[in-house]
Amino acid sequence: MTFPQRRPRRLRTTPAMRRLVREVRPQPAQLVLPLFVREGLTGSRPIESLPGVSQHGLDSLPAVIDEAATAGIGGVMLFAIPDVRDATGTQACARDGILNLAIDVAAKAADGRLVVMADLCLDEFTDHGHCGVLADDGTVDNDATLEIYGQMALAQARAGAHVLGLSGMMDGQVSAVRAVLDDEGFTDTSLLAYSAKYASAAYGPFRDAVESQLVGDRKTYQMDPANRREGLVEASLDETEGADFLMVKPALPYLDVLADVAAASAVPVAAYHVSGEYSQIEATAERGWIERRAAHLEAVTSMVRAGADIVMTYAAVEAAQWLKENS
Fold of 24-326: TIM Barrel (3.20.20)
Q: Is 323 helix (H, G, I), strand (E, B) or coil?
A: helix
pLDDT number for residue 6: 84
pLDDT number for residue 4: 72
Question: Does the structure show a pLDDT above 90 at 275?
Answer: yes
The beta strand positions in the chain, using DSSP E, are 31-38, 44-46, 54-56, 75-81, 115-120, 163-166, 190-197, 245-249, 269-272, 310-312
What's the pLDDT band for 16 if we cut at 50, 70, 90? Answer: very high
pLDDT number for residue 7: 87
pLDDT number for residue 327: 75
What residue ranges do the domains of the chain occupy? 24-326
Q: How many CA atoms lie within 13 A of 112 on its CB side?
A: 0
Question: Does the structure show a pLDDT above 80 at 205?
Answer: yes
pLDDT number for residue 45: 97
237-264 average pLDDT score: 98
What's the pLDDT band for 37 if we cut at 50, 70, 90? Answer: very high
Question: Does the structure show a pLDDT above 90 at 214?
Answer: no
Judge whether 120 and 86 are in contact, CB under 8 Å: no
- 38 Cβ contact partners less than 8 Å away, ≥ 6 residues apart: 45, 55, 56, 57, 80, 81, 98
Residues 18-37 as b/e (b if ≥16 CB within 10 A, e otherwise) read eeeeeeeebebebbbbbbbb
pLDDT number for residue 284: 98
What's the pLDDT band for 170 if we cut at 50, 70, 90? Answer: very high
pLDDT number for residue 1: 67
User: Structure pTM?
Assistant: 0.95
Span 284-293, pLDDT tens digits: 999 999 999 9
Mean pLDDT, the chain, as a whole number?
Answer: 96
What's the pLDDT band for 35 if we cut at 50, 70, 90? Answer: very high
- Residue 10 is given by DSSP the state G
Active-site annotation holds for 249: yes
What's the pLDDT band for 193 if we cut at 50, 70, 90? Answer: very high
pLDDT number for residue 110: 98
Question: Does the structure show a pLDDT above 90 at 255?
Answer: yes
Active-site annotation holds for 219: no
Q: How many residues does the chain have?
A: 327
Question: Does the structure show a pLDDT above 90 at 3?
Answer: no
